[in-house]
Amino acid sequence: MPDPRFKVLTSASTSGPGDAGRTGSWRVERPVIDMSRCIPAKTGKHACHICWLFCPDNVVSKEIEPAIDLEYCKGCGICAQECPAQAIAMVPDADFLEGADSE
């Protein structure tokens, strides 16, 4: 154990959403799930959940209709890439801004 005179400050923390700060602010594109194609949503069964498994920031819920915590989703797009049903689209965040062109 370190000598009590030494604080030994390191970057160590319990893993969880937000471990690297509010990473949602990094996002340029956000994942949008089409529930008509999403396997668990479509079958009503706990199947697939590949997006939950692959998300590097633990922000996808393991639910029948998976939810993405946009506070911390940094928009890496891994979920969209891995989804076997191509149910996830990466949509520019700017489209969701107030006053964004609806076209």
Per CB under 8 A, residues contacting another protein are 1-3, 5-21
In the complex, the smallest distance separating the C-beta of residue 28 from another protein, rounded to whole angstroms, is 17
Show the CA angle centred on residue 63, arms to residues 60 and 65, nearest 5°: 90
Residue with smaller CB distance to another protein, 19 or 65: 19
Residue with smaller CB distance to another protein, 12 or 97: 12
Nearest-CA neighbor of 27 among 87, 78, 71? 71
Write out the two tokens for 66. 């998976």
In the complex, the smallest distance separating the C-beta of residue 97 from another protein, rounded to whole angstroms, is 24
Nearest-CA neighbor of 66 among 85, 50, 84, 82? 50
In the complex, the smallest distance separating the C-beta of residue 75 from another protein, rounded to whole angstroms, is 15
In the complex, the smallest distance separating the C-beta of residue 25 from another protein, rounded to whole angstroms, is 11
Residue with smaller CB distance to another protein, 16 or 84: 16
- Beta strands 88-92; 29-33: pairing state: antiparallel
For 46, phi then psi, to 5°, come to: -75, 80
Residue with smaller CB distance to another protein, 32 or 58: 58
